[in-house]
């Protein structure tokens, strides 16, 4: 199997920036960025990252506030925090074995095996959903069970190319992203069609049986741009699993039987101890994250005094024009679009 696959790969492989060389550090960066994120989205972020932190040592010497600014907009910010923490744990050279790699924050079985196969030519296969899908289709397995998953893993590992394990991994990645996609296949161009049972049955997209998509909850949220003496207040999310280290305008969820106006007055008081009245409604924003969405009512408010300010979060009063110097969640960038139009 691997001969046909690699022959196809060498003619059709994608020209990706992290494939120029086999630096374990750069492969690690790319693999973490690619978690739950499309290649086309990752490329400009990867290039920006490598320009700022070209080596592991340059990254290890960085400050987290600078690091997360480079990551800003890529989402799933816990990945960035895990990378930062992992870099501090790497004492000298990058780990070249599974046991040491798997101990690092943010590195699971797939990422560890992929790094080792590509950077160190270890005879391993990093199996993610794309590679798993290829295995299910070749073997003609419809139902996702632990037994079938083990069969897929065994099949892909047994067919590994021991001379070029990294190329084998990347070839399967490219096959899954170009010809053997979840909802569309290009079987006539596939180098593995002759051994594929799903192709023989003329229904590859039904292998494996797709999971029913869950409806994500939508939360109503009130946010306020608080202005005082031509400066606005921003606060920093810290020690949270979600968007940790990013800056934002104060606000929060609208409670049951509460109006957006009442909610923002309450939230500002709880977060900052500032008293606001008559907040001005600026506009509405919707934004979706991976597991939930938000419907944001954006306000502007002008406290008469800031003497009572007492936030449990780190906070800054800044000129609005300077806000892009701080890493912000994507939803806050949408708020800035509303503010720009008003100005």
Q: Which residues are catalytic?
A: 31
Secondary structure (3-state) at 3: helix
The angle that helices 64-71 and 78-89 make with each other, rounded to 10 degrees, is 140
How far apart are the C-alpha atoms of 139 and 152, rounded to whole Å? 8
Phi, psi of 301 (to 5 degrees): -140, 155
Whether the Cβ atoms of residue 313 and residue 271 lie closer than 8 Å to each other:
yes
Q: Is 38 exposed, middle or buried (0-12, 13-18, 19+ CB in 10 A)?
A: exposed
Task: Enumerate the β-bridge partners of residue 247.
Answer: 236
Only one residue has tokens 């609208």, namely: 254
Residues 6+ apart with CB under 8 A from 253: 219, 220, 221, 263
Phi, psi of 210 (to 5 degrees): -65, 145
| 67's tokens | 């690091």
Whether the Cβ atoms of residue 248 and residue 325 lie closer than 8 Å to each other:
no
Cis ω for the linkage preceding 208 (within 30 of 0): yes
């Amino acid at each position: 199997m691997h001969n046909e696959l690699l022959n196809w790969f060498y003619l059709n492989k994608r020209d990706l920036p992290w494939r120029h060389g086999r630096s374990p550090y750069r492969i690690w960066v790319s693999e973490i960025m690619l978690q739950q994120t499309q290649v086309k989205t990752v490329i400009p972020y990867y290039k920006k990252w490598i320009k700022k932190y070209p080596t592991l040592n340059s990254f290890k010497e960085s400050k987290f506030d600078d690091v997360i600014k480079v990551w800003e907009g890529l989402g799933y910010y816990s990945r960035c925090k895990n990378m930062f923490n992992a870099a501090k744990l790497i004492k000298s050279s990058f780990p070249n074995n599974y046991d040491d790699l798997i101990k690092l924050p943010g590195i699971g079985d797939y990422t560890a095996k992929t790094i080792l196969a590509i950077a160190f030519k270890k005879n391993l296969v990093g199996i993610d959903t794309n590679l798993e899908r290829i295995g299910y289709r070749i073997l003609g397995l419809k139902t996702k069970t632990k037994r079938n998953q083990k069969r897929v893993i065994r099949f892909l590992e047994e067919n590994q190319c021991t001379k070029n394990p990294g190329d084998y991994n990347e070839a399967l990645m490219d096959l899954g992203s170009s010809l053997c996609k979840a909802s569309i296949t290009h079987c006539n161009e596939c180098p593995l069609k002759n051994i594929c049972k799903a192709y023989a049955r003329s229904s590859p997209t039904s292998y494996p049986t797709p999971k029913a998509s869950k409806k994500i909850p939508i939360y109503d949220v009130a946010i306020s741009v608080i202005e005082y003496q031509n400066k606005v207040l921003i606060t920093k999310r810290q020690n949270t699993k979600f968007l940790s280290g990013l800056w934002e305008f104060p606000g929060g969820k609208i409670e049951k039987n509460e109006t957006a106006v009442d909610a923002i007055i309450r939230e500002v008081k709880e977060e900052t101890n500032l008293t606001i009245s008559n907040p001005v409604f600026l506009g509405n924003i919707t934004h979706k994250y991976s597991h939930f969405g938000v419907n944001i009512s954006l306000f502007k408010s002008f406290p008469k005094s800031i003497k009572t300010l007492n936030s449990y979060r780190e906070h800054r009063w800044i000129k609005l024009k300077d806000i892009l110097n701080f890493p912000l969640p994507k939803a806050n960038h949408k708020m800035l679009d509303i503010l720009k139009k008003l100005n």
